[in-house]
């Protein structure tokens, strides 16, 4: 019925045509807010972000394989089988193709087949082209940033009314690409597992946010399954995705939709976990105790020290997001020194995390955006925090890759939504601050990328940043050793070997029973002996190594080489007597090792009476009378 107007006249109902015209109208917007996104659409933004990522990491396209690239790609047997190796990658622990078997070196093993399948496809099509692999990493990195931009459009639809340079998503994506803490993930080819896990997790979030039909939720499950196959830390998005929908989706969410969403996520997770169990034969622990310090940094700590150190690293992560310096690929023992609860930083970190957690859980039901940022950060960092289980090192910059999305969303949200001055200067201030941040981060990233050009630069940088890492000192010593091997000038080679020895010794000062460092210490000594024939110095080093680990394979192999080489064996025989009889026999009572080294002396000179007498006495101590009598009889010949 038509409504009456003042004066008694009736208002005519609007015609259908008029209604349609009225509905088609859109509110007026400033030209600047339409010109970029609305005229050209998302493809131009996505292309721009990808180009920014490619331009920033262009230097890496000339770099080769480094660090764990050989374990997961260049020397992994299943990867280098190409397409035929894909089945094994899906059914084996990630490092089995490198070691030849499953080693269970770290808690939980490693099952991340999707990134390795991408490597296998690359190898099948192009063989080993590290430059191409680096370019693919940068490209996928740029796509991830675009997904982040698009998610911001979903979270803050009112941003459509704002100029492009004031959109949260625009600045969040730029900060994400520019942040130097991501350099390890992008510049290290192996880091593709991190890139793909976040990429598919963000894609899952986009589809879940917009989902309405059953087919949409099936796609949610598929994408989440791919994220998990990339890396297991995508499991944390089982919390992030529902949380995002609860806080930011404006229209009513039906109970049926919640059921479908959780069903899709849970089924994908179950499929992944079952598949993972079938591949590595356990969920979290193989049942073997991890006692090697380099794979369990807390092995020598008590419970109090462990958690004080963990909370120190959790504060360190926040510092590196805000002030990314110094950066390092290596936080192995003891780059981060052991802490206890007398440490102010550990206490401050604990209080900060408790306060943030309490704030988040009390405010999230009011859909508080800051509570959302906190919970996203806590959820994504939880799986790599060393609290639920040990991840093999105290911390790593790549571990914060997924959690950094909370930081890059927080900054532009605060600056464009919460800093409001009484005049237009608020926009200028926000743009200036974010431009400075993106510029500074890009500058630091461009300075950081070159250290990934080779092992020598990377490990020298790590030692400079954290001098007390046993692993980075060893790796630098190894890189210098390899430089010496390639050098043609005699004096330069000798200088490099000596410099290598100094870093290897530092590694052993930090971790005295580090097996790989002991082997390298002996190897450098043997190389120097080959140059100056100073046998006494080499044997002194061998003794230092063997007193720590008598079974060090390299030393035994080199002694075999000296025996087989022939020539004057007097120095070797004297050393075997001193090491075997005097050190392991008389001083330590380790007669089995005494026998081992004395046998080397016997093989070098079967007529040496000192060796024969020592072997007879050693076999007496071992209770092996017949063998002792045999050597005594040789004395009387």
Counting residues of the chain whose pLDDT is more than 70, the rounded percentage is 92
Q: Check pLDDT > 60 for residue 457.
A: yes
Residue 23: pLDDT band by 50, 70, 90 thresholds? very low
- pLDDT tens digits for range 286-318: 778 888 999 999 999 999 999 999 999 999 999
pTM: 0.90
108: Cα separation from own chain's centroid? 15
The token pair at 429 is 């201030």
The pLDDT assigned to 32 comes to: 36
Nearest by Cα to 226 from 260, 257, 210, 203: 203
Over residues 548-553, the mean pLDDT reads 97
CA 449 – CA 60 distance, rounded (Å): 7
Counting residues of the chain whose pLDDT is more than 90, the rounded percentage is 82
CA 218 – CA 221 distance, rounded (Å): 5
Nearest by Cα to 444 from 192, 188, 175: 175
Q: Check pLDDT > 90 for residue 165.
A: no
Q: Check pLDDT > 80 for residue 18.
A: no
Nearest by Cα to 491 from 525, 537, 524, 532: 532
The pLDDT assigned to 283 comes to: 80
The H or E element that residue 559 is part of is helix 553-565
The pLDDT assigned to 104 comes to: 81
CA 601 – CA 584 distance, rounded (Å): 14
* Range name among 2-11, 401-410, 411-420, 566-575 with the lowest pLDDT average: 2-11
Residue 456: pLDDT band by 50, 70, 90 thresholds? very high
Q: What is the DSSP letter of 10?
A: B
Residue 6: pLDDT band by 50, 70, 90 thresholds? very low
Enumerate long-range contacts of 57-60, CB under 8 Å, 24 or more apart.
Answer: 57/134, 57/137, 57/138, 57/141, 57/186, 57/187, 57/449, 58/138, 59/446, 59/449, 59/450, 59/453, 60/134, 60/135, 60/137, 60/138, 60/186, 60/187, 60/449, 60/452
Q: Check pLDDT > 80 for residue 490.
A: yes
Q: Check pLDDT > 50 for residue 30.
A: no
Q: How many CB atoms lie within 10 A of CB 453?
A: 16
Over residues 407-432, the mean pLDDT reads 79
Residue 35: pLDDT band by 50, 70, 90 thresholds? very low
Q: Check pLDDT > 90 for residue 116.
A: yes
* Sign of the torsion formed by the C-alpha atoms of 203, 207, 208 and 209: positive
Over residues 20-26, the mean pLDDT reads 40
The pLDDT assigned to 25 comes to: 41
DSSP, collapsed to helix, strand or coil, labels residue 635 as helix
225 neighbors 272 (Cβ within 8 angstroms): yes
- C-alpha distances in angstroms, 236 versus 151, 199, 549? 17, 14, 42
Q: Which residues pair with 4 in a beta bridge?
A: 10
Over residues 68-97, the mean pLDDT reads 96
**469-565 and 572-637 share one fold:** yes
- C-alpha distances in angstroms, 376 versus 243, 380, 406? 8, 6, 6
Residue 339: pLDDT band by 50, 70, 90 thresholds? very high
| Region of residue 289 (phi > 0: left; psi between -120 and 50: alpha; otherwise: beta) | beta
The token pair at 369 is 């955006």
The token pair at 383 is 């799986």
The pLDDT assigned to 541 comes to: 98
Q: Check pLDDT > 90 for residue 164.
A: no
Can you name the CATH fold of 572-637?
1.25.40
Domain ranges across the chain:
303-448, 469-565, 572-637
Backbone torsions φ then ψ of 271, nearest 5 degrees: -60, -45
CA 197 – CA 112 distance, rounded (Å): 9
The token pair at 243 is 């949380």
CA 212 – CA 253 distance, rounded (Å): 10
The owner of tokens 């954290």 is: 466
496 neighbors 478 (Cβ within 8 angstroms): no
Sorted by sequence, the CB contacts under 8 Å of residue 627 that are 6+ apart come out as: 615, 619
CA 451 – CA 328 distance, rounded (Å): 10
Pick the CATH number of 469-565 from 1.10.1740.10, 3.40.50.150, 1.10.540.10, 1.25.40.10: 1.25.40.10
CA 372 – CA 118 distance, rounded (Å): 33
431 neighbors 165 (Cβ within 8 angstroms): yes
Write the secondary structure of 522-539 as one string of H (helix), E (strand) and C (coil). HHHHHHHHHHHCCHHHHH
Over residues 379-401, the mean pLDDT reads 95
Higher pLDDT, 24 or 314: 314
Q: Which residues pair with 10 in a beta bridge?
A: 4
Sorted by sequence, the CB contacts under 8 Å of residue 564 that are 6+ apart come out as: none
Enumerate long-range contacts of 548-552, CB under 8 Å, 24 or more apart.
Answer: 548/512, 548/513, 548/518, 549/513, 549/515, 549/518, 550/584, 550/590, 550/593, 550/596, 552/515, 552/518, 552/519, 552/522
Over residues 181-201, the mean pLDDT reads 98
Residue ranges in 101-251 assigned as alpha helix (H): 113-126, 130-155, 168-178, 183-187, 192-210, 214-230, 237-248
């Amino acid at each position: 019925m038509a409504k009456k107007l003042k004066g008694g006249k009736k208002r005519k109902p609007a015609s259908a045509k008029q209604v349609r015209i009225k509905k088609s109208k859109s509110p007026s917007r400033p030209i600047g807010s339409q010109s970029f996104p609305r005229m050209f659409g998302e493809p131009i933004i996505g292309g721009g972000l990808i180009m920014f990522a490619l331009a920033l990491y262009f230097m890496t396209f000339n770099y080769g394989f480094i660090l764990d690239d050989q374990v997961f790609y260049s020397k992994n047997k299943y990867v280098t089988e190409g397409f035929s190796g894909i089945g094994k990658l899906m059914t084996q622990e990630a490092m089995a193709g490198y070691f030849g078997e499953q080693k269970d070196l770290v808690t939980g093993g490693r099952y991340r087949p999707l990134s390795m399948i991408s490597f296998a496809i690359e190898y099948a099509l192009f063989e080993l082209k590290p430059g191409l692999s680096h370019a693919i990493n940068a490209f996928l990195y740029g796509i991830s940033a675009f997904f982040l931009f698009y998610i911001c459009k979903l979270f803050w639809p009112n941003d459509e009314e704002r100029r492009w340079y004031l959109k949260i998503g625009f600045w969040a994506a730029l900060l994400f690409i520019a942040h130097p803490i991501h350099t390890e993930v992008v510049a290290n080819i192996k880091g593709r597992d991190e890139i793909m896990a976040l990429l598919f997790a963000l894609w899952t979030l986009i589809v879940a946010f917009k989902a309405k039909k059953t087919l949409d939720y099936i796609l949610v499950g598929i994408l989440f399954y791919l994220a998990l196959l990339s890396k297991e830390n995508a499991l944390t998005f089982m919390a992030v995705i529902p949380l995002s929908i609860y806080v930011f989706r404006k229209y009513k969410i039906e109970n049926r939709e919640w059921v479908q969403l959780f069903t899709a996520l849970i089924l994908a997770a179950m499929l992944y976990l079952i598949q993972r169990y079938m591949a590595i034969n356990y969920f979290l622990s193989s049942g073997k105790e991890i006692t090697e310090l380099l794979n369990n940094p807390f092995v020598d700590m008590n419970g109090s020290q462990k958690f004080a150190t963990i909370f120190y690293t959790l504060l360190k992560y926040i510092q590196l997001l805000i002030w990314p310096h110094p950066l390092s690929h290596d936080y192995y023992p003891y780059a981060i020194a052991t802490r206890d609860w007398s440490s102010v930083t550990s206490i401050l970190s604990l209080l900060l995390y408790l306060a943030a957690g309490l704030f988040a859980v009390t405010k999230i039901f009011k859909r508080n955006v800051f509570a959302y940022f906190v919970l996203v950060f806590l959820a994504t960092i939880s799986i790599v925090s060393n609290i639920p289980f040990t991840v093999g090192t105290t911390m790593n910059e790549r571990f914060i890759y997924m959690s950094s999305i909370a930081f890059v969303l927080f900054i532009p949200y605060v600056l464009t939504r919460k800093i409001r001055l009484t005049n237009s200067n608020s926009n200028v201030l926000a743009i200036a601050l974010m431009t400075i941040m993106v510029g500074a981060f890009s500058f630091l990233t461009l300075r950081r990328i070159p250290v990934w050009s080779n092992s020598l630069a990377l490990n020298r940088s790590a030692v400079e940043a954290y001098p007390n890492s046993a692993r980075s000192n060893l790796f630098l010593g190894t890189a210098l050793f390899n430089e010496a091997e390639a050098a043609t000038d005699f004096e330069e080679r000798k200088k490099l070997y000596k410099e290598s020895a100094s870093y290897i010794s530092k590694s052993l000062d930090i971790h005295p029973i580090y097996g790989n460092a002991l082997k390298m210490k002996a190897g450098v000594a043997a190389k120097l002996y080959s140059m100056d024939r100073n046998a006494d110095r080499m044997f002194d080093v061998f003794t230092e190594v063997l007193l720590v680990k008598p079974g060090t394979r390299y030393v035994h192999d080199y002694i075999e080489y000296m025996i087989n080489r022939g020539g004057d064996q007097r120095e070797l025989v004297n050393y075997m007597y001193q090491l075997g009889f005097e050190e392991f026999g008389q001083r330590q009572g380790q007669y089995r090792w005494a026998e081992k080294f004395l046998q080397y002396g016997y093989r070098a000179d079967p007529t040496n009476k000192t060796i024969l007498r020592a072997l007879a006495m050693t076999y007496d101590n071992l209770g092996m009378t017949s063998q002792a009598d045999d050597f005594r009889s040789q004395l009387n010949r």
